[in-house]
Amino acid sequence: MARIIAGSAKGRRIAAPKGDRTRPTTDRVREALFSALASWFDTTDGDPAEQLAGLSVLDLCAGSGAIALEAASRGAARVVAVEHDRQTAALIEANAKDARLRVEVRAARAEQFAGAAGEAFDLVFLDPPYEAEIVDDVLTALVTHGRLAPRALVVVERSARGAAPVWPAVFTDVWERGYGETVLYFGATD
């Protein structure tokens, strides 16, 4: 069972869906991710519960909601978790309630949510099943439908054996970090 690593809900357990419906981001990768985010947003010296203060965060293909919960624990102003499986979405809501964190959960497909008009986000995390081939389409939809705030950061989690995302031209700064079988791809807009 995973735990929230830092912030206001540090140490709280995160229940994962039963069976093999999801592939949760490991604690090690989450810790590295949020360390990189604190560096990017220049909040490494601040209180962990305030590291994402003022930011709106979108977690697509949220699974257990570990990324969304971690973002809320670290002070994100608004957190939306999108998970297509209704039972798993209900589990994210239960995890948020248990941890006393504000996370809005939407039972929808990542492609549909990204492709609908709506608010723009400062930080987007996309972690579809490794075999799913939706990453490039979701990235394009986020740009086309105005789902990215100015100077947004998008992080895509993929298998080290898979192909890197094809970033739309609006992403002017891209880089990657590998963690064993997992690669995090980062893309920032101007």
The CA-CA-CA angle for residues 159, 160, 162, to 5°, reads: 65
pTM for this one?
0.95
Strand bridging mode 13-14 / 2-3: antiparallel
In contact, 125 and 67? CB cutoff 8 Å: yes
Q: Give CA–CA dist 115/144, Å, rounded.
A: 8
Q: How confident is the model at residue 22 (pLDDT cuts 50, 70, 90)?
A: low
In contact, 37 and 123? CB cutoff 8 Å: yes
In contact, 67 and 59? CB cutoff 8 Å: yes
Q: Give CA–CA dist 42/92, Å, rounded.
A: 28
166 burial (CB, 10 Å; 0-12 / 13-18 / 19+) is exposed
pLDDT for 38 equals 93
pLDDT for 19 equals 64
Q: Give CA–CA dist 117/142, Å, rounded.
A: 9
The string of pLDDT tens digits covering residues 129-162 is 877 899 999 999 999 999 999 999 999 999 999 8
pLDDT for 190 equals 83
Q: Give CA–CA dist 157/159, Å, rounded.
A: 7
Q: How many helices (H) and strands (E) does the chain have?
A: 5, 9
Q: Give CA–CA dist 183/27, Å, rounded.
A: 14
With a pLDDT cut of 70, the percent of the chain lying above it is 97
The string of pLDDT tens digits covering residues 59-79 is 999 998 999 999 999 999 999
Residues pairing with 179 in the sheet: 182
**What type of residue is 26?**
T
pLDDT for 20 equals 56
